[in-house]
Amino acid sequence: MKYNPDNERIKRKYFAFLKEAKRQNEASVDAVAKVLNRFEYYGSHRNF
């Protein structure tokens, strides 16, 4: 699976924000992670 290292670092901060500040459940964060991956895939893993 391809990935963009810079995007991975941004996503990591965002997941921490969702979990800690927004108090989202782990499963909800997983869903967001999956959606973001699909978004990146269709944008051929360009920088955010």
Partner 1 sequence: MGKRINPNLVKIHRNYTVEEIASVLAVHKNTVREWIKKGLQVIDCKRPVLIHGNELRQYLKDSQRRRKRTCKPDELFCLRCKTPQQPIGKMLDYEPMTETKGRLIGLCSSCEGVMNRYTSIAKLDELEDLFEITKLSNAKHIVKTS
Q: Which is nearer to partner 1, 9 or 25 (CB)?
A: 9
Q: Which of 9, 8, 15 is nearest to 40 (CA)?
A: 8
Nearer to partner 1, 24 or 33 (CB): 33
Contact indicator for 33, 3 with CB cutoff of 8 Å: no
Number of neighbours of residue 38 by Cβ within 10 angstroms = 10
Nearer to partner 1, 12 or 25 (CB): 12
* Shortest CB 5 distance to partner 1, Å: 4
Distance CA 24, CA 17 (A): 9
Contacting positions for partner 1 (CB under 8 A): 1, 3, 5-6, 8-9, 11-12, 15, 30, 33-34, 36-37
